[in-house]
Amino acid sequence: MNHLTVTQRDTATGPVLHVAGDLDYDQAPELRDRLDRLALAPGQRLVLELSGLAFCDSSGITALLAARQHALAAEADVVLAAVPANLLRVLTLVGLDQVFTLRSDVGAAS
């Protein structure tokens, strides 16, 4: 198991959260708690940079959906950047590639 780490960097367009490790049943609450404490302003963009994500189960996908809801409630946007191929495949299979804005890297997400 890879411990989940979430680091934040603030940019002119909004916060970038780098999510690394395993986003699973045991660790997804950590991301959700971090998101609950994250202040977003209308018009900002929350970027979840996922290049370091080693594993994501259904609890992790639920946490990503919670991030989307948090951003929408604040009238902000959310972008998933650098999504690993295995997660991208799952998101595509369940149609979430049509729900999330996906970008190849953080630069493309800004």
Of the chain, the end-to-end C-alpha distance in Å amounts to 31
For the segment 52-83, what is each residue's pLDDT rounded down to a tens digit? 999 999 999 999 999 999 999 999 999 999 99
Over range 96-101, report the average pLDDT. Answer: 96
- Global confidence as pTM: 0.94
Enumerate domains of the chain plus CATH numbers.
Answer: 5-84+94-105 (3.30.750.24)
For the segment 26-35, what is each residue's pLDDT rounded down to a tens digit? 999 999 999 9
